[in-house]
Structure 1
Amino acid sequence: MTGRVVAVHSSPVHGFSKATRGEIALVEGVGVVGDAHAGPTVQHRSRVAADPSQPNLRQVHLIHEELFVDLRAAGYEVAPGSLGENITTGDVDLLALPVGTRLRIGSETVVTVTGLRNPCQQINDFQPGLLKQVVSTDDEGRVVRLAGVMGVVSRGGSVAPGDPIQVELPPPPHFPLTRV
């Protein structure tokens, strides 16, 4: 499976949306340079409050551009970066990837997928009703999360729009993504 980087984003503060950049730099084991969520240990405020020594499995947030198309069709005003992702992707079925999938981005960068983003009430503060669009329940009663995936930087480098994304599945058995 080959995809592409549509846009890249970062923010030095813990806010909701992230500014679009021409390029971002990723550091192995840390995350996006200059982003509030970068660090070897957890940076998400609620998780820091619970246990600041936890490893940061959410160094990089990726969302598929197809989600924005669906949300706009449902009447929401969203654009790359507005939901707080670092990398907006195209042509990669992020939500179907198993845990441990390696995403080779550009010529050097590798992000290893750790799990699904679990959006909170802040998404409704951004636009009322949006949470129900990205978290729902299927016919079997399972929670379905559509707000992208999280990962850790396994090899640093720069990432820019237009960079190719090569998907490398881990060896079997494959385990489905769960929230991180």
Structure 2
Amino acid sequence: MGRVAAIYRSVKKGERIRLDQPALFISGFGLEGDSHGGRDQRQVCLFGLNSNEQLQKLGGAGLCTGRFNENITTDGIDLFQLPLGTRVKIGETIQEITQIGKKCFGCEIGDENGSCVLAHEVVFTAVIEGGFIKEEDTIAVVE
């Protein structure tokens, strides 16, 4: 079981706002008011604290991180190790993992190491059952 470390709304490409209050996630859409909402099966983007720290240690701060915005920062659970189709309960919502990994932006990290954590550890979900999510909510696999 993991937890929600932070929630972000993308206002426009490359610009996000950290949400301090519970955020509404809408079935079939994603985060209410998010500029990436409603996109096919990539409605919500999740990225782990450990993965983010790895990226920064590799020198990714300001490169990929300046162009990539997750909706939910997770802690204590490696969602990227779960198979596609796995359902997770996050706060009041049920979400299904629809994609693992994201196309690399082609920065210096990817060139030096072949690929970066974005290519393998970003997780996209579709919102199956909507509801509110707030920081510190638990993240658990639905059996």
> Given residue 14 of structure 2, which amino acid in structure 1 is its aligned partner?
F
How far 1:12 moved relative to its partner?
A: 3.0
Instruction: Please report the RMSD computed on the Cα atoms of aligned residues, expressed in angstroms.
Output: 2.5
TM-score, length basis structure 2: 0.83
2:18 is aligned with 1:33 = no
The equivalent residue for 1:3 is: 2
Instruction: Map Cα deviations across residues 13-69 of structure 1 (whole Å, 9 max, x no partner).
Output: 2x1342211132100111110001112xx3xxxxxxxxxxxxx11000000111111
TM-aligned CA deviation for residue 130 of structure 1: 4.1
Could you tell me which residue of structure 1 aligns to residue 78 of structure 2?
93
**Aligned 8 A contact 2:94 2:130 in 1:** yes
Larger radius of gyration: 1
Instruction: Identify unmatched segments of 5+ residues in structure 2.
Output: none
Q: What TM-score comes out, normalization by structure 1 length?
A: 0.67
* Deviation of 1:85 (Å): 0.5
On the 8 A contact 1:7/1:88 being kept in 2, the answer is yes
Flag the structure with higher strand content. 2
Deviation at 1:103, TM superposition (A): 1.1
Please, which of 39, 43, 60 is the counterpart of residue 76 of structure 1? 60
Within a 5 Å distance, the mapping from 1:9-158 to structure 2 comes to 9-13=8-12, 15-22=13-20, 23-39=22-38, 42=39, 56-77=40-61, 83-106=68-91, 108-121=92-105, 128-132=107-111, 136=115, 145-158=119-132
Output the CA distance in 1 between the equivalents of 2:113 and 2:89.
26
> Residue type matched to 1:10 in 2?
R
**4+ long deviations beyond 6 Å:** none
User: Which is bigger in relative contact order (C-alpha 8 A, separation at least 6)?
Assistant: 2
SS in 1 for 2:115: strand
Measure, in 2, the Cα distance between the counterparts of 1:133 and 1:119: 16
Contact persistence 1:134–1:147 (CA under 8 A): no
On the 8 A contact 1:134/1:146 being kept in 2, the answer is no
Report SS of the residue matched to 1:72: helix
Count, aligned residues: 138
Between the aligned residues of both structures, percent identity stands at 31
